[in-house]
Amino acid sequence: MIAMLVPMLLLIPVTTVAQPTPTTRAVFTKLVQPYFLPPRFSFEVDGMVVPNVQSVQGLENFAVQVRKGSDQVPQLVPGRTRWSKITLKRGMTTDNILWDWFQQTRSKGNASKTCALDTTTKAGQQVHWVFHRCWPSRYEGVTLSSKNSGHASEKVEISYESVELK
């Protein structure tokens, strides 16, 4: 039986693999490069870096609707804006900077601080947002479940009065 298979194996054509040309090498290199880089950002509260930040969301600006005189239809007026709240999510650590700030706001009433978000673009340029008169308006503590093996995290909503892009 084996004697019959050996001649058949010799008849199978052998294909050769072409060597990559500069054009195919460039196309392959572009295909394997990641489009999005891992997040490179930091969030600061009064100059202190908040460790272990996973995401920052909600940097939005809305035009305010105004009714003029006896008009029943509201109009969007340029210049008057409303800022959304920033949602900061981070993994739980022994650093209590956000919790302490939340407690300080509850006890003193107005514990506003200056916050900053620093990020690096894909081209390596630094972008710096400064948020003025910030305070934590909502704190969401850790949710634990035996069904979920994920890491414990906390969320904080931060209200602010103005933002500046530098």
pLDDT tier, 87 (very low <50, low <70, confident <90, very high otherwise): very high
Query: Does residue 9 lie in a domain region?
Result: no
What Cα–Cα distance (Å) separates residue 114 from each residue in 84, 87, 95, 144, 158? 16, 16, 19, 32, 11
Query: Does residue 7 lie in a domain region?
Result: no
The more confidently predicted of residues 14 and 68 is 68
Query: Does residue 71 lie in a domain region?
Result: yes
Q: How much is the CA Rg of the chain, to the nearest whole Å?
A: 28
| Dist. CA 79–CA 71, nearest whole Å | 20
The more confidently predicted of residues 129 and 65 is 129
Query: Does residue 160 lie in a domain region?
Result: yes
Write down the pLDDT at residue 80: 66
Which amino acid, one-letter code, is at 19?
A: Q
Is 90 exceeded by the pLDDT of residue 69?
A: no
User: For residues 118 and 131, is the Cβ–Cβ distance under 8 A?
Assistant: no
The more confidently predicted of residues 165 and 81 is 165
The rounded percent of the chain whose pLDDT value lies above 90 is 14
Query: Does residue 118 lie in a domain region?
Result: yes
Query: Which residue range forms the structural domain that includes residue 125?
Result: 35-165
Query: Does residue 115 lie in a domain region?
Result: yes
Is 50 exceeded by the pLDDT of residue 28?
A: no
CB-based burial label for 87 (10 Å; 0-12, 13-18, 19+): middle
Which amino acid, one-letter code, is at 26?
A: A
Query: Does residue 69 lie in a domain region?
Result: yes
Query: Does residue 156 lie in a domain region?
Result: yes
User: For residues 135 and 156, is the Cβ–Cβ distance under 8 A?
Assistant: no
| Dist. CA 29–CA 40, nearest whole Å | 23
Write down the pLDDT at residue 26: 44
Is 50 exceeded by the pLDDT of residue 84?
A: yes
Count of structural domains within the chain: 1
- Give 88-144 pLDDT, tens digit per residue: 988 888 888 888 899 988 888 778 899 999 888 778 888 899 999 999 999 988 777
CATH of the domain at 120: 2.30.110.20
Write down the pLDDT at residue 116: 93
